[in-house]
Amino acid sequence: MDLIYDVFLKFFSILFGGSDEVWIIAGRTAIICSISTAISFLLGASIGFAMALIPFRGRSAVVAFANTGMGMPPVVAGLIVAVLLWRSGPLGGLGLIYTPVAMIISQCIIAIPLVSAITAGSLMALPESLLLQIRSLGANPYRSILILGYEARLSLVVALMAGFGAVISEVGAAMMVGGNLSGETRVLTTATVLLVGKGQFEEAIAYGVVLLSMVFVVASVLTLVQSMANKRV
């Protein structure tokens, strides 16, 4: 019993014992992941709408590609970004390797296919007659997209949740292109990996709990939004 008590004591002292480090890292994680999720959702949903609504040659191949991207291993995304941004790489001159921007780019590469595939899938599942009906009403393309987006709103929230989940939980790419630099690119996942490597399990658990709490809060908010959208009068 004393051991468990000690672990809890240590855990609370890490979180609330005066050191701000865990909260600074959590704040940085929140900012980086929010930006990645927002960009992934905007680009991914737009690609999803285009895949679902614009008939073009090779569309099924593009959808298959996006579906493949849903299983994109984070380390591969990290590798691609690292190769591009490495100092001797094609975009090395931008000096982005080991910066939060590089992490955001790699996280977007992971999340965009997910968001676009879920968006396209949900729009394709709507009845064809719905699109024809909207078109028959004389809606311009912009209004048509808004109306269809509203019809698919529950799936769009799912896409947003999936994008956020992928972004906040990945560690391989963040490590590879962010470098886990203290005070610059260290986020909760990379910090946890580092602490486990050093055998500091109490601290690692504390970081893990903060990470889990963040995911829980975001998922709860999105679930609430989803249930409000699904509220059937």
- Binding positions for another protein, rule: CB under 8 A: 127, 129-130, 132-133, 135-140, 143, 147, 150-151, 232-233
DSSP code of 18?
Answer: S
Q: How far apart are the C-alpha atoms of 140 and 158, rounded to whole Å?
A: 27
Min separation Cβ 150 and another protein, Å = 8
Q: How far apart are the C-alpha atoms of 226 and 46, rounded to whole Å?
A: 20
Q: Which is nearer to another protein, 5 or 142 (CB)?
A: 142
99: left (phi over 0), alpha (psi -120 to 50) or beta: beta
Min separation Cβ 52 and another protein, Å = 17
Q: Which is nearer to another protein, 70 or 126 (CB)?
A: 126
Using DSSP's 3-state secondary structure scheme, residue 57 falls into coil
Give burial (CB, 10 Å; 0-12/13-18/19+) of 112: buried
Which tokens in the block code for residue 202? 């109490």
Q: Which is nearer to another protein, 24 or 132 (CB)?
A: 132
Q: How far apart are the C-alpha atoms of 205 and 200, rounded to whole Å?
A: 9
CB atoms within 10 A of CB 29: 23
230 CB contacts (<8 Å, ≥6 apart)?
154
Q: Which is nearer to another protein, 132 or 217 (CB)?
A: 132
Min separation Cβ 155 and another protein, Å = 12
Q: Which is nearer to another protein, 159 or 173 (CB)?
A: 159
Min separation Cβ 134 and another protein, Å = 8
Min separation Cβ 6 and another protein, Å = 55
